């Protein structure tokens, strides 16, 4: 038969076992959260580094874009001057050819100038659109 001490001891809650279970459960939870936190921290760090590189590349592209726009505007200014001169010379040449009664295409270099003038005019229009797009970035 059980002694009186054993009976009393048997009625007491087994706190040591439950305390160990609670401690083990908390340790598992802590360990799990630490692992998740480490993975999250690495992902955040990687994302921050990738973002830094990305924005650095964007800044470089913007600087290159500004330089391209500046050169484009200078070329467009030259194209306007060329257009004015070529248009004036082409019109004077056509008038002179008409006055002399000759075919304007028989004048040496006229067709080449006329073709070049039209090509420059077309490319200048395209370049102006691109320069505006670059400026608006």
Residue 89's contacts (CB-CB under 8 Å, 6 or more residues apart) are 113
Tens digit of pLDDT per residue, the chain (137 long)?
567 767 666 666 665 556 566 677 888 899 999 999 999 999 999 999 999 999 999 999 999 999 999 999 999 999 999 999 999 999 999 999 999 999 999 999 999 999 999 999 999 999 999 999 998 88
Report the predicted TM-score, pTM, of the whole model to 2 decimal places.
0.60
Q: Structural domain tally of the chain?
A: 1
Query: By residue range, what is the domain housing residue 43?
Result: 4-135
The DSSP string of 101-125 is T--GGGSTTHHHHHHHHHHHHHHHH
Quote the CA–CA distance of 133 and 131 in Å, as a whole number: 5
Q: How many other C-beta atoms are found inside a 10 Å radius of the C-beta of residue 108? A: 6
């Amino acid at each position: 038969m059980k002694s009186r001490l054993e009976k009393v001891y048997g009625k007491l809650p087994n706190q040591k076992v439950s305390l160990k279970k609670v401690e083990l459960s908390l340790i598992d939870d802590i360990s799990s959260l630490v692992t998740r936190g480490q993975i999250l921290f690495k992902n955040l760090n990687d994302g921050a580094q990738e973002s830094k590189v990305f924005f650095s590349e964007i800044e470089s592209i913007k600087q290159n874009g500004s330089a391209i726009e500046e050169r484009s505007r200078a070329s467009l200014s030259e194209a306007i001057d060329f257009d004015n001169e070529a248009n004036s010379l082409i019109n004077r040449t056509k008038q002179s050819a008409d006055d002399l009664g000759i075919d304007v295409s028989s004048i040496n270099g006229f067709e080449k100038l006329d073709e070049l003038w039209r090509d420059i005019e077309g490319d200048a229009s395209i370049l102006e659109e691109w320069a505006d797009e670059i400026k608006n970035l």
